[in-house]
Amino acid sequence: MSLKHLGPGSQLPPLQPGKLRLYSMVFCPFAQRSRLVLAAKNIPYEVVNIKLKVKPEWYLGINPSGMVPCLQFDDGRAIPESLIVSEYLDNAYPENKLKPSDPYINAVHSVMIDSFGKVITPFYKFLFGDQSAGEDLLKSLEYYEKKFENNYLGGDKPAFVDYMVWPWIERLEFLKQKKNLDLNETRFPKLLAYIERMKQVPAVKETILSVEVYDKFFKSYSGDEPDYDCGINA
Amino acid sequence: MSLKHLGPGSQLPPLQPGKLRLYSMVFCPFAQRSRLVLAAKNIPYEVVNIKLKVKPEWYLGINPSGMVPCLQFDDGRAIPESLIVSEYLDNAYPENKLKPSDPYINAVHSVMIDSFGKVITPFYKFLFGDQSAGEDLLKSLEYYEKKFENNYLGGDKPAFVDYMVWPWIERLEFLKQKKNLDLNETRFPKLLAYIERMKQVPAVKETILSVEVYDKFFKSYSGDEPDYDCGINA
C-alpha cells in the first residue's frame, strides 16, 4: 500500500481481513503517539496517510472530527483520539505493557501526560512565528526537566508517558536549530540528555524525522497544500 | 470533621493514618465525578471542602493548580484532576469495577467522556447568562441522546462513563427550570428518561442537590464569596 498522503478524489483503500489500520499523517505528533505505541509493542498494522488540510471526501465518514490518528478494524469500527487509540493498543495487546500496573504510578504518569497541554500550546505559537511564546515554551519544559528521576519519564525504560510526550520533544531540535529556541545545556541538562537517549529507542528510530525534513515541511505548511509526502522514507 | 468550606486563615486539618482524603467543593461537578466513584465503590474517605474563589493559603502547596478534586493519602502524596483521580480509584479498588474490562468498549466509553467537553463549554456559557449558547448546549446533548442503546451510557448498569458525565446532566434540570433551557420530551426522550433512572442510583442519591439549592448557590456566585456552605446537608 502506498504511503502517499490521500486527498480529495482519492479512493479509500479497501480494508484487509485481519489487518489493523491507522489513519495518520507523517508530520502529525498526535498520530505519532500511536505509531510509537504500535512500534514499541510490535503490533502489525497498515497506514493510510491523510492530507489534513485537504481531506478525502470519505474520511469524515470514518472519523467525523477529521483528525488523525484514527484506528480502524477490518470490520469498519474505528477509534479516534491519540490518547484513546494509544491506551486501547496498550490494553488490547498486553505483551510489553507500556502503562504501569501500579495504580498510583499510573496516576503520576497520567498527570505528566495531562500537564503536557501546557507545553503544546506555546509550542505551536512559537512554531508558527510568535517569538514571545519561546520563553513560555521553555518555562513549560522546566516542569519536565525536574521530573527526570530516572533515564526516562516513565522510569528505567521508556513507558507510555514517554511515547505520549516524545513527538513534541523530538521537534524541539528543529525549533532550536531553525527557529532559535534557546534550549541550552545549562537550563535543560536532563532534558537534552533524555533527547539523546530517546533517539536510541527502536520505536523512536522508526518514526523520527530529521531537522531538515521538518524544515522543508513547515516551510510548505502555510500554503494550501503542504508537502506532506516529503516525510515519507525521509 | 466539619464539611464547611475552608478559606484564607483556616487551619489545614491534620491527615489521619489510613484515611483517604478528597479535597472538594460541594457544587463543583469535577469534584462530584470523584465523589460519585468513591460512593459507587463504597470507598471510605473524608472530605475537606475548599472555597475555590478565596482559597486557603495551604491549598496550593497540596495542589499547585488550586483546583478540586484532589485526592490525598495519609503520607501527603496527592493526585489532582477529576479523570485521573477517578481512574486511580477504579484501578486501586478493583471491587465493583466501573470501567469495562474489554479494551474496545473501554475506548468507546473514553470517546464519550472525551466528547463531553463539547457539552461543558456551552453549558457554562449558558449558565452564566449567554442565552445564545442554549441551542449549542442542546445540540451537544443530541450526541448523547443517540448513544442510549441501553438504560445507561455504560450499558445495563451505571459505569465509569455515566459517573463522569452525570454532574453536568444533573444540573440540566436547574437550567431547564430556572434558566429556561428547552430540554423537552420530544427532542430528548431518552436523555430525560435516563435522568430519572440515574436519580435512583445510590451514588447519585448521595451527591445530588436540588434545583432550589443550585439556584441559591448560583445567585450568590457572582459575589466575592459565593455561599458554598448552602449545599451542605441540603
**Contact predicate B112/B163, CB 8 Å:** no
Average pLDDT, chain A: 96
Strand partners, A22: A47, A71
Do A69 and A118 sit in the same domain of this protein?
A: no
The single residue listed with the C-alpha cell 502506498 is: A2
Going by pLDDT thresholds of 50, 70 and 90, the confidence category of residue B48 is very high
Longest dimension (CA), chain A: 53
- Domain shared by B19 and B43, yes or no: yes
Residue A114 and residue B79: Cβ atoms within 8 Å? no
Q: How far apart are CA A124 and CA B34, in angstroms?
A: 33
Residue at grid coordinates 514571545: A132
Burial A179-191 (b: 16+ CB within 10 A, else e): bebebeeeebeeb
Residue A150 and residue A102 in contact, taking contact as beta carbons nearer than 8 Å: no
Do residue A123 and residue A168 come from a single domain?
Answer: yes
pLDDT of residue A233: 72
Q: Are residues A10 and A36 in the same domain?
A: yes
> Cβ of B104 and A92 within 8 Å?
yes
Q: Give the tens place of pLDDT for each residue, B181-207.
A: 999 999 999 999 999 999 999 999 999
* Residue B1 banded pLDDT, cuts 50, 70, 90: low
Residues of A in contact with B94 (CB under 8 A): none
| Distant-in-sequence, close-in-space partners of A196: CB < 8 Å, separation ≥ 6 | none
How high is the pLDDT of residue B224?
78
| Interchain contact, B91 vs A106, CB within 8 Å | yes
Dist CA B181 CA B170 (whole Å): 13
Q: CA B82 to CA A27: how far, in whole Å?
A: 32
Bond preceding residue A14 cis, omega within 30 of 0: no
Specify whether the CB–CB gap between B62 and B72 falls below 8 A.
Answer: yes
Q: Please check whether residue B218 lies inside any domain of the structure.
A: yes
Cα distance between residue A70 and residue A21, in whole Å: 8
- Whether A147 is in a domain gets the answer yes
**Same domain, yes or no, for B186 and B216?**
no
Q: Do A114 and B81 lie within an 8 Å CB cutoff?
A: yes
Chain A: closest CA distance from residue B103 (Å): 6
Helix residue ranges per DSSP H, A47-132 = 59-62, 82-92, 103-115, 117-127
Q: Count up the domains in chain B and report the number.
A: 2
The arithmetic mean of pLDDT across residues B62-85, rounded, is 98
Which of B63, B82, B106, B118 is best to mutate for the A interface (most A CBs within 10 A)? Answer: B106
Catalytic entry in A20, A22, A28, A164:
A28
DSSP codes joined into one string, B49-117: EB-SSS--TTHHHH-TT--S-EEE-TTS-EEESHHHHHHHHHHHS-TT--S-SSHHHHHHHHHHHHHTH
In a 3-state reduction of DSSP, which class is residue A24? strand
- Looking at the fold, whether A145 and A79 belong to one and the same domain comes out as no
Radius of gyration, alpha carbons of chain B: 18
In a mutagenesis test of the A interface, which of B83, B93, B102, B111 is the best target, namely the one with the most A β-carbons within 10 Å? B111
Contact B84, B59 (CB under 8 A): no
Same domain, B176 and B107: yes
Q: What is the pLDDT of residues A164-220, one digit of tens each?
A: 999 999 999 999 999 999 999 999 999 999 999 999 999 999 999 999 999 999 999
Could you tell me which residues of chain B have a Cβ less than 8 Å from any Cβ in chain A? 77, 79-81, 84-85, 87-88, 91-92, 103-104, 106-108, 110-111, 114
Write the pLDDT tens digit of every residue in A24-56.
Answer: 999 999 999 999 999 999 999 999 999 999 999
DSSP B123-135: HHHHHTT-TTHHH
* Domain annotation covers residue A217: no
Closest residue of chain A to B104, computed from CA coordinates? A88
Task: Return the CATH number at B188.
Answer: 1.20.1050.10
C-alpha A22: how far from chain center: 13
Do A53 and A138 share a domain, yes or no?
A: no
Question: Residue A222: what pLDDT?
Answer: 83
Q: How far is B79 from chain A (nearest CA, A)?
A: 7
* CB distance B38 to B89 below 8 Å: yes
CA nearest neighbour of B46 among B78, B77, B24: B24
Mean pLDDT of B92-105: 97
CA–CA distance, A181 with A172 (Å, rounded to integer)? 8
Known active-site residue A230: no
CB contact under 8 Å between A81 and B106, yes or no, is no
Question: What is the arithmetic mean of pLDDT over B97-121?
Answer: 98
**CB atoms near residue A64 (< 10 Å):** 12
Q: Which of B37, B79, B98 to mutate to test binding with chain A, by most A CBs within 10 Å of its CB?
A: B79
pLDDT range class, residue B234, cuts 50, 70, 90: low
Residue B154's domain comprises 103-200
**How far is Cα B10 from Cα B161, in angstroms, rounded to an integer?**
36
Asked if residue B74 belongs to a domain, the reply is yes
Q: Judge whether B205 lies within some domain.
A: no
Q: pLDDT, tens digit, for every residue of A146-161?
A: 999 999 999 999 999 9
> Is residue B72 domain-resident?
yes
b (16+ CB within 10 A) / e for A79-106: bbbbbbbbbbbbbbbeeeebbbeebeeb
Measured in whole angstroms, the distance separating CA A17 from the mean position of its chain's CA atoms is: 27
Cα–Cα nearest to A84, from A204, A16, A164, A25: A164
Confidence of residue A1 (pLDDT cuts 50, 70, 90): low
Query: Domain holding B33: CATH number?
Result: 3.40.30.10
Asked whether residue A107 falls in the same domain as residue A84, the answer is no
Residue B65 placed within a domain: yes
Residue A17, pLDDT above cutoff 60: yes
What would the mean pLDDT of A113-139 be, rounded to a whole number?
97
What DSSP designation does A10 have?
A: P
Helix (H, G, I), strand (E, B) or coil at B18: coil
Give pLDDT, residue A234.
56
pLDDT for B148 equals: 95
Nearest chain B CA: its distance from A64 CA (Å): 12
Average pLDDT score, chain B: 96
Choose the closest CB to B92 out of A80, A91, A103: A103
Nine cell digits for residue B141 = 446533548
10 Å Cβ neighbour count for B151? Answer: 16
For residues A62 and A18, is the Cβ–Cβ distance under 8 A? no
